[in-house]
Structure 1
Amino acid sequence: MATAVAGTVFIAAGAFWLSFTALADLARRSGVDAGQAWAWPLIVDGIIVVATVAVVALAGQRSAWYPWALLAAGAVVSVTANAIHAVVAADADVPGVLAASVAAVPPLVLLAITHLTVILTRPIPAPVPEASREPGEETATVAQPPVPVGREVAVLLREEEGWSNKQIARHLGVHPSTVGRWFARSALTDPDTEETT
């Protein structure tokens, strides 16, 4: 895992540098002062990095559309600007399409490798101990959520910390409806919640 993360960071740094130098040069050629031209690639490619982290962090939430929009816009601007720079700065004997295609690779790699790095560095949920499984769970697949332990943790988080179902679900890596079912099931089996006649 450490090797994979180190590799992705190294590739991302290389892609960022190639894109950075091309965009800074394009900014200078477009009339931006040489002392300020470095800020333009930071803005353009920086939004790709930040939006990618936000997309992964907000995965499955309704508000994730905004970082997705920023990510798409940043990628389009970066790829287009890199391609334009290549066409403007390329030697006369290099076809414009070839120069633009080569220049488009670094921002696309930056986009892909940043997303991969964020995924690789996300914490992996701990497996459910065998002793804590409910009867009949022996044949359950690994992909199923840790219901027994999860339910106990969910109850603690709700009663002691006052967390909402959505916060608990995000913390445990399950869908909010799963947390809702846990509490509904607890209410049905809790003798304190039964109506007295």
Structure 2
Amino acid sequence: MPEHELTLPPPGLAGQTPVRVRMDAQVGLAIAAAVLTTALTAVSFWLSFESLHDLATAHRLQGERAWAWPATVDAFIAIGELLILRASLMSRVDPWAIVLTAAGSLGSIVLNIASVGVSDDPLDYVTAAVPP
């Protein structure tokens, strides 16, 4: 049995059987969380891109430029998140990565809300703000 699968009992419980840690369950949960996080991120970016594309076309950007503009806005978020992951794997905090992610998120949220225009229903604005 591999050494990392066993834990020692707390000092007050000496003489009792050690508890086996289920590494396969932990790995399975980590994989499921990674898959769901990736799916959520992909759908969120798609919704945000659609909204920002509509805003770009409403303001005279056409064709490839109308699709490239949302990419430049939301790329701040993606780059910042990758830099946060890198810092996390190095057990560090990268303040610039946090600033980059926050700036991209706030910019994307504001622009997605702006794409709604004038509406009497407050949920229109909430729905526009949620994807990023």
Q: TM-score, normalised by structure 1?
A: 0.47
Change (3 A) 1:66 1:80: same
Cα deviation, residue 9, structure 1: 1.4
Cα deviation, residue 58, structure 1: 2.3
Q: Is contact 1:19–1:106 with CA below 8 Å preserved after alignment?
A: yes
Match 2:116 to one of 86, 94, 109:
86
Q: Is contact 1:87–1:99 with CA below 8 Å preserved after alignment?
A: no
Count how many residue pairs are aligned between Structure 1 and Structure 2.
100
CA distance in 1, matches of 2:32, 2:85: 21
Residue of structure 1 in register with 2:52 after alignment: 23
Amino acid at match of 2:35: A
Displaced runs of 4 or more, over 3 A = none
Aligned-residue CA RMSD (Å)? 1.8
Residue of structure 1 in register with 2:98 after alignment: 68
CA distance in 2, matches of 1:8, 1:67: 19
1:6-47 per-position Cα deviation (integer Å, ceiling 9, x unaligned) = 222111111111001000110111121233110111111121
Sequence identity percentage: 33
Larger CA Rg, structure 1 vs 2: 1
Q: TM-score, normalised by structure 2?
A: 0.67
Match 2:125 to one of 97, 100, 110:
100
Structure 1 spans left out of the alignment, 5+ residues: 108-197
